[in-house]
Amino acid sequence: MEQEYETMVTMYGIPNCDTVKKARTWLEANGVDYAFHDYKKAGIDRPRLEAWVKELGWETVLNRAGTTFRKLPDAARENLDAGKAVDLMLAQPSMIKRPILDTGKARLAGFKPDVYAAAIR
């Protein structure tokens, strides 16, 4: 007999982000218990961020469309690689794609209801 266990889901983001709000609403509407980690207040540690980059790719984890990234000097935005992207995101967590959802089995970047449904069910 297969034993079922509840994996703690953690959402990483900032509470005033519209996409985070939509994702949180979806989780609540679907009865998913989750912890919320506000990386603007609580920060993010290098090993976790490096693990996300390794799993998802720095191109996915770094939010290059956001205002914080676009306001960087050209020199900071050039010749990006995983190491430089991690350094930028550690210095300014607003540059991390939002939300990052850790299901315990996989990490998801951004919010798409169908992707959430497939990963959590």
The Cβ of residue 25 has, within 10 Å, a number of other Cβ atoms equal to 11
Task: Report CA 52 to chain centroid distance, whole Å.
Answer: 8
98 counts as catalytic: no
Taking phi first (over 0 means left), then psi (-120 to 50 degrees means alpha), and beta for anything else, what does residue 57 get?
left
**Active site residue: 10, 14, 17, 32, which one?**
17
CA 70 from chain centre, in angstroms, equals 19
Residues annotated catalytic, as ranges: 17
